[in-house]
Amino acid sequence: MRLSLVFTHCLEKVFHRQNMPPIAVENRLSGLNNEVLSWQAVYCLQTPGNETRHELCYQLDGPLAEYISVRQVQSVPSGFPCYRETDENYLTTEPGLFPDPLMPLPQRRFFAACRYYGSLWLTLTPPADAQLAGDFPLTLRLLDAQSGEALAEATLTLHLVPAALPPQTLLHTEWLHTDCLADYYRLAVFSPAYWRAVRNFVRCAVQAGVNMLLTPLFTPPLFTPPLDTAVGGERTTVQLVRVTHSAHGYGFDFSRLAQWVALAQEEGIEHFEIAPLFTQWGAAHAPKIVVEEQGETRTQFGWHTDAQSEAYQRFLQALLPALTAWFRERGLERQVWFHVSDEPTLDNLAAYRRASAALRPLLDGFRTFDALSDFAFYQQGLVETPVVATDHLEPFIEHQVPGLWAYYCCVQKTEVANRFFAQPSARNRILGVQLYLYRIAGFLHWGFNFYNSAHSRERINPYAVTDSGHAFPSGDPFVVYPGEDLQPVESLRLRVLHQGLQDMRALQLLESLTDRATVEALIESELGMRITFKRYPHQAGALLRLRDAVNRRIEALLAPM
């Protein structure tokens, strides 16, 4: 029996293959003393005979061992890894198995598939109350689970810089779909188990740099086709506002909303994103709204409701003053953001203008934002804060639009950063540098945990179907998997994205110690080019060297004279 074991960085994707991947062996990693660091241990077990798998266990030795988690990188299938149109910066365009979920190892045991390469994912989470600094040796040892025989070990040095990342200034939302949690775990919505699942997934999101939470006052058909709800279709109701209607008008119960806000704030959420009050691409219809009337509950508004109908406008005129007053009473006026309708275009300018005009007087003092890609639409003055696709940012940057947000999704398939299975992890991580360079105020993604097929016609098992039934390239619909005990299972893509956000904060720290020009010059020098959202080095090494140079500069500047 022969076991190979080496450490490498977090940007490798180690595929379930027999051939040795061309990995960079790492024996030293650096980070700031409050930074969550990730790296991998790549292994391959060769056994005689026909044994297909062998159980191993691991030991960690070193002064930081208690703060390091070890998870196994498992592979999941993708039948649809990319669109027909790609660029040269993909690992593959073929369907297959891809490394992604980071499976916990509570017993420190795991099975190695004989003759195939695999990896363990190590994550250092420094204690909040310690100010660590200096070099810390670490040894990972793999043993035969039955005999206890040591089969292989790898060592490295973790170097912690005596400085802390500053708080994240970027507003960051990854849409949490709680109906998908209720569906997957078969939970009654708003049951104690439902709230436990929500808390666990919110906590995971916050730990990955999310500080704004999509808040479903009503169950929105957030999108018309081809995204997540078919026209006329419905998803499981997760309505946070209880609505009653009588001859006296509408009544509103915000107790579930209060529970939602309290839970979110307890877990570290700072801002709340109100789900759109109209459907996508034209604000043509209302979201699904369940109303209680004369002891009966029914869907009063939805796909059948014209957005400008007198009945829906009366409803909004009753709801929004009560809702905004509720938020104001809790001091949340500047922490609550409203959507009108997602991704308006010039073709539906008139409809969006009508919807916006109806809402603006009712949302005075609150901020509004919407995703859009057409600068000409923004010039109409209808969207306060644009959330712009990363491949359409140039005119917004050129015109120095204040408070600019960015997003990407499945459509951003060439040139720009993204996090598809089939793309290298460096393409995911580079986003942090880009957000810093162009002073982007917020980042949005629609898929934290979307576990439905296209149009939400079926519920899917995300371990078996990673592309929403050939709807979106694998990696777009979700970055966490539903695990045991209502706990999320992180993806390596989520960890890499968070590493990118920490890069952004490290650059901000260096700027505070020097100046903007110095940091921008360092980025260009280390990466070998002027970085845009479409132009950046595709190699992991350049990005890793940049971050190491930033750490060294910070440490030198803070060293005692």
Domain match, 115 and 213 both = no
pLDDT at 280: 60
Give the mean pLDDT of 507-523.
98
Q: Are residues 137 and 207 in the same domain?
A: no
248 exposed, middle or buried (CB, 10 Å; 0-12, 13-18, 19+)? exposed
Is 66 in the same domain as 178? no
Residue 79 has pLDDT above 80, yes or no: yes
For the question of whether the overall pTM of this predicted structure is more than 0.85, the answer is yes
Element (H, E) at 71: strand 68-78
* pLDDT in the model for residue 282: 59
Residue 249 lies in a domain: yes
What is the pLDDT, as a whole number, of residue 234?
A: 66
Residue 425 belongs to a domain: no
pLDDT in tens, 5-49: 999 999 999 999 998 888 999 999 999 999 999 999 999 999 988
Residue at 274 is within a domain: yes
What confidence score (pLDDT) does residue 63 get?
97
Tell me, what's the pLDDT at 455?
Answer: 74
Amino acid identity, residue 93?
T
Interval 145-177: pLDDT, tens: 999 999 999 999 999 999 999 999 999 999 999
Residue 246 within a domain:
yes
Q: Report the pLDDT averaged over residues 320-325.
A: 98
**Residue 220, pLDDT score:** 53
Indicate whether 109 and 248 sit together in one domain. Answer: no
Give the number of C-alpha atoms closer than 13 A to the C-alpha of residue 266, restricted to the C-beta side: 10
pLDDT over 50 at 227, yes or no: no
Which of 490, 522, 549 is the last residue in one of the domains? 490
Q: How far is CA 353 from the centre of its chain?
A: 31
Task: Judge whether residue 225 has pLDDT over 60.
Answer: no
Residues 67 and 6 in one domain: yes
Is the pLDDT score of 358 beyond 70? yes
The verdict on residue 437 lying in a domain is: no
Q: What is the structure's pLDDT at 321?
A: 97
The average pLDDT across 79-102 equals 98
According to the model, what pLDDT value does residue 388 have?
Answer: 97
Task: Please provide residue 443's backbone torsions phi and psi, each rounded to the nearest 5 degrees.
Answer: -135, 135
User: Going by C-beta distance under 8 Å and a sequence separation of 6 or more, which residues neighbour residue 72?
Assistant: 102, 103, 105, 110, 118, 119, 120, 121
For residues 440 and 434, give the distance between their C-alpha atoms in angstroms, rounded to a whole number: 8
Residue 141 shares a structural domain with residue 214: no
**Lowest model confidence (mean pLDDT) among 195-204, 232-241, 392-401, 457-466:** 232-241
Whole-number pLDDT of residue 324? 98
Q: Based on the domain organization, do 10 and 93 belong to the same domain?
A: yes
Estimate the share of the chain in helix, then strand, then coil, as percent rounded to the nearest 5. 30, 30, 45
Per the prediction, the chain carries an average pLDDT of 94
Are both 152 and 239 inside the same structural domain?
A: no
> Is 191 inside a domain boundary?
yes
112 & 187 share domain: no
Share of the chain above pLDDT 70, in %: 96
Q: What is the mean pLDDT of residues 512-540?
A: 98
Q: Is 551 domain-assigned?
A: no
In the prediction, which pLDDT does 228 show? 45
Q: Tell me how many domains the chain contains.
A: 2
Report CA-CA distances (Å) from 374 to 198, 497, 512.
Answer: 35, 27, 34
Look at strands 442-445 and 405-407 and give their pairing: parallel
Q: What is the mean pLDDT of residues 238-258?
A: 95
**Strand, helix or coil at 168?**
coil
Residues 495, 175: Cα–Cα separation, whole Å: 17
pLDDT in tens, 262-306: 999 999 999 999 988 887 655 677 888 999 998 899 888 887 888
Burial of 60 (0-12, 13-18, 19+ CB in 10 A): middle
Least confident of 32-41, 58-67, 75-84, 121-130: 121-130
Domain shared by 57 and 154, yes or no: yes
In angstroms, the Cα distances linking 384 to 91, 341, 403 are: 39, 13, 9
Residue 334 shares a structural domain with residue 248? yes
Q: Are 150 and 295 members of one domain? A: no
Least Cα distance to 430 among 510, 332, 331, 547 occurs for: 547
Q: What is the mean pLDDT of residues 522-536?
A: 98
Torsion-angle region of 139 (φ positive above 0: left; ψ -120 to 50: alpha; else: beta): beta
Residue 519 lies in a domain: no
* Nearest Cα to Cα of residue 428 among 382, 496, 373: 496
- Residue-range definition of the domain harbouring residue 107: 2-161
As a whole number of angstroms, the distance between CA 256 and CA 243 comes to 12
CATH number of 62's domain: 2.60.40.10
Bigger pLDDT: 221 or 214? 214
Do residues 181 and 190 make contact, with C-beta atoms less than 8 angstroms apart? no
Q: What are 63's two structure tokens?
A: 């002064």
